[in-house]
Amino acid sequence: MSVAVITYHGRMARWEPDARGRLEQAALELFAERGFDDTTVADIADKAGLTERTFFRHFADKREVLFSGSDALRELLAQSVAAAPASMSPMQVVGAALEAVSQVLHERREIVPRRQSVISAHPELRERELIKLASWADVLTDSLRRRGVKEPSATLAAEAGIAAFKIAFARWAVDPKRRDLARLIRESLEELDAVTAGR
């Protein structure tokens, strides 16, 4: 089923039920089969039974299929830090924000391992993933400062949190249906505390 609707740009557009999800599924399958470089937007649209125009309504390019979720998660980190009780320490605030992110990722556990294997296989995508995580650390730092956390505590808590997240996420992404990301993040933060105590 597809129906003509007016988009918020005021243009006529065909509304395709879950076009975004279908494009994402198709892209991940093609990236896994042919590799990221040998998959075109036309291939993805075709496999999803949609047009390239529909693809570009949802994603700027094929790389965005893998990274478009990051903006929403960055926003969630900022909101979680802002909403955390005043009594929490900077590290507790960061832990709570990462726990909120882990809930969203839990809902996406079906696609996470496939996404990760595409990224792992491609140096440029691995770099993009690093830059994404660095932008999460930046938003955590800024949000902590806005709560009145002083430097260097704000940057250190943010960087420590992202380091713990990276490690927890790598463990989780191997088998995201059986492991609990929030718990792995808490364990990583405990281990980080133990490691840094051994200066």
Give the footprint of a second copy on this chain (CB under 8 A). 89-92, 95, 127, 130-131, 134, 152-153, 155-157, 159-160, 163-164, 166-167, 188-193, 195-199
The two three-digit tokens of residue 111, written as one number: 């696609």
Report the residue number, 38 or 190, with the smaller CB distance to a second copy.
Answer: 190
Least distance between a second copy and beta carbon 118 (Å): 19
- Taking the least distance from each CB to a second copy, the nearer of 17 and 148 is 148
- CB 80 → a second copy: shortest distance, Å? 16
Smallest gap from residue 155 Cβ to a second copy (A) = 5
State in angstroms the smallest separation of the CB of 49 from a second copy. Answer: 36
Q: What share of the chain is helix, strand, coil (3-state, %, to 5)?
A: 70, 5, 25
Cβ nearer to a second copy, comparing 118 with 189: 189
- Please, are residues 137 and 81 in contact by the beta-carbon 8 Å criterion? no
